[in-house]
Structure 1
Amino acid sequence: MRSGPYFFAWCDEAARVDAFGAALSALVHDPPYDVSVYMRPSPSFSTNSVDEAVAKIRAHFGHADADAYFEMLGSSGQFVPCILRCYTDRSERIKPWGPIHMHPREIEDFAPMHMDLALGSSPRSVEAEAEVAWHMVLDDLEDMLLRLCAPDATGRVSTGGCTSAWTWLAPVSMCATYNADARDIARDLALSWVSLHDTEKVSLIAGMSLEALHARVDAAPAGARVVPTDKSGRSIPLSRETVLKALVMPGSALIEALVAAADVRDEAWRAAAPRAEEIHNLTVQARARGERFTRGGGSLTWVELTGEHVYFLVDHAPFHVRRLPGGGVVLATHPYRTVWPLWADALFLLGITS
């Protein structure tokens, strides 16, 4: 069973252990269970005190990276075994994984390939079942991303994201992104451009200023284009000129366009919504009665996600634009999809595509 999805966060090395500690405190279940820490070549250790774990990491960080193994409590009430890692800049230059990153040890613990659902007497609907799966995953995805990137109000982490891939992709090719300052949302486009056009590792350039990113985009040949990942198989190019126009627009205008694009629901998703809501309500009622899936009886049915469910999510899963109280913003969709179609629609609404 493979691990994932993968969550990434960037902050200055000087604040990295503090950011790591704050994220660990937000992720570990309270009261705390054991946290196992590995800092090769230093000895590994286990503790049920997050403060103790962070103190020992701080003492050795600089000549050793840190891996913390723990369990977090998901919204379903199930514990999800996770790994949280903190790397020095030196390690990042050797092998850029992302200075702070985390992932569930098995993707099945986070986004199960099966669900126990109360389907009632109505016919099966792949589309409705896929919608239920989307709702089950999205809350946990956003929750984990915010616990990693914004566990407090310090703003140490400026940007981050989530993807089903094992590496930090171009932001528009991920299923979720985080920006501590919504006014800098164009960073997602600029980072994506520089990463794809100049084949740069995102984790090595995520800390660049918007001005520096702007200069990198501007230095590209006129008319240059890149094609971000769109898992539906479509090829939607992103031009240098579009990125430059977005970089000089107010961040608020970009956010409003993203919100408007996210608010457009396609007809296939809309048509399946009533049945999805019915399944959700029936399932909640069955679980409230204490029912569990049993073969050959009961109201709960074992529903395995098939290629049809996945393809429907890839093509139709909605996008969520979440403005945060502290001024940040999260863009998110299901891990089977990317946020690039959302961006493409928003840029079209703004009339700056070329």
Structure 2
Amino acid sequence: MVLKEAMQKIIAKYGNAPAETLNEHTPTGQKPLELFITDEHTENYLSLKTGPDQNRGLLSGLLGGVSALIALIIGVWMALLGKWDGVAWMLILGIPLFIVPFVIEARRALPLPVIFNRRTKEVYFDNDGELYHTPWRGIEAVACEFEIVGIYSGNIRHASLEVLMKRLGEPENSIMVSLGTPAGKSLNMQKGFWEYIRSYMNNGPWFDHNGEHSESDEFVKNQLALNLKQSENLSAWRKIIQNKKEASGGKNFLTGTDALMLISNIIFYPSNKIQEFVYERAKRRSRNRWPEIVTERLRSDGPTTRLIDLERKRGLSV
């Protein structure tokens, strides 16, 4: 299947919905915008989270941080009452609630991210052990906005962003790879995210709010800092309350919502930290699943030949 045919098919599936084709050299008219799916932004590569496992560790956090904590509190209370048989039961129930989901979720590998390699100017994607790739030069993507109609929710707009990629060694086998979930995003947001990727690949690794090259990483860090970890919500909300206190001179600054959010973030703080720890463990286990042909190209001193160049040397039609 040639590239144009593949792009025509992907656009046709959305019918009359607004859709735009994107490439590496044409600006979209939007400012660079990170959409909370960046896994790593380094000098050599940009990796984007894929799949539904972005919340990996949630079960461990809820069971370990909440259920086990409740069991611990009840156990301490029973110990104070001298009911040591109740303490034993709380340990029997509480410890497995923490350990079992932790071991299962931490040992199960995460889906590999989509990687944009700035050194070699190409993109990699793992599809259930099959390596897909595309060179940055000549890359073809499509952003499409569509509506989902629900009985209770009404019309909700979403927008997808997909990139055409080919299987390594089988260039006639191509797929469209989604860059993040389309839920809750607009066409302009996806175009802004494409500008973020364009700025990184063409002008990066660091760039300013216009996408122009910058020696400072300030803009990129500010963009990535907006994607707070769950455990960081506590300090963020404490800062909000502190700012309100200073603005009001310390009088009548604490609302019911402020108190509720502060208390809930304190309660769920252990759960959130456990979830983040499990996610990082699972992510480290996933890294060794990339083939050597990819990992060596992510190193600063690795080869700069593109995978498409290797295919051409083998006489494959691309």
Same fold, judged at TM 0.5 (above): no
TM range (shorter): under 0.3
Quick check: which has more Rg, 1 or 2? 2
TM-score normalised by L of structure 2? 0.22
Indicate the structure whose relative CO is greater, using CA pairs within 8 Å and at least 6 residues apart: 2
* TM-score normalised by L of structure 1: 0.21
* Greater helix proportion: 2
